[in-house]
Amino acid sequence: MEREELSAQFLISGFRVFGEAMRLHDARMQQILPVPINVIEYVESDYQDQIASPSHCSHCNDTQGLCRHGTYGRWISWCLETVRILVARFLCRKCGRTVSCLPDWALSYRRVNVHTTERYLEGERADPEISHWVIHLRSYQKRIDSFAPTLVRSVNTGLGVPPSKPGQPLWPWIKKAYGTLQSAARQLVSTFRITLFGRYRCHQPCGFDKPHSAGMTGG
């Protein structure tokens, strides 16, 4: 076979793989699941295997056909360590999309867990755990600040009167509405399909075709 022909075939197969990857990426939905145990207990008990199928597909709302569809791994902070957890995934037989169930102490696309992040937003700086993750946490704060105008516009007055002055911190408003960051992260996704850091395709219903928000750092 000629070299040009081989190159062309390589390119075509590359485009096919890329196209398939994009299709699969678009097919993934994420739900935030309340989990009553901590990160280590979750790992040690293989909790991902005990999670029941979601009651409905968050993409097409079908209530019949969700079946277990393996897991994917992602990293999350635990004290000064990073722990790999497995996230349960389910497949909708009707629309062919997958729905993953992210434990609610994990933030979408953020490595540092929700409790440590909340303590940073509360102003804690001296604790060794905060110091250990401070580079990540600073970037989270920066991202929250830059996304704040979009978040406020998106939820409108759904969380009470939002901060009115530019640059006013967002966290006290969110805290007043939801109490904890854990609750806020879960309910912002379920109610408004948004996070404190951005709006992501994996939280959007059928037909959403906006580009990804910036700031994604992994599953």
Q: How far is the CB of 55 from Zn ion (least distance, A)?
A: 12
Residue 177 in contact with Zn ion, rule: CB under 5 A = no
CA distance 176 to 158: 12
Closest approach of Zn ion to the CB of residue 7, in Å: 40
Adjacent-strand bridge partners of 28? 98
Do 173 and 155 form a contact (C-beta atoms < 8 A)? no
Q: How far is the CB of 88 from Zn ion (least distance, A)?
A: 16
Minimum CB distance to Zn ion smaller for 79 or for 95: 95
The region of 60-68, 79-87, 100-108, 176-184 touching Zn ion under the rule CB under 5 A is: 60-68
Binding of Zn ion at residue 60 (CB under 5 A)? yes
Question: What 8-state DSSP symbol labels residue 167?
Answer: T
Q: Are 201 and 208 in contact (CB under 8 A)?
A: yes
Instruction: Collect contacts of 134-140 with beta carbons under 8 A, ≥24 apart.
Output: 136/77, 136/110, 136/111, 136/112, 137/112, 140/110, 140/112, 140/197
**Contact residue for Zn ion among 27, 62, 83, 124 (CB under 5 A):** 62
Identify the residue among 85, 91, 92, 159 touching Zn ion (CB under 5 A): 92
| Least Cβ distance, residue 27 to Zn ion (angstroms) | 10
For residue 114, the SS3 value is helix
Residue from the set 59, 74, 89, 110 that interacts with Zn ion by CB under 5 A: 59
- By the criterion CB under 5 A, which residues form the site for Zn ion? 57, 59-60, 62, 92, 94-95
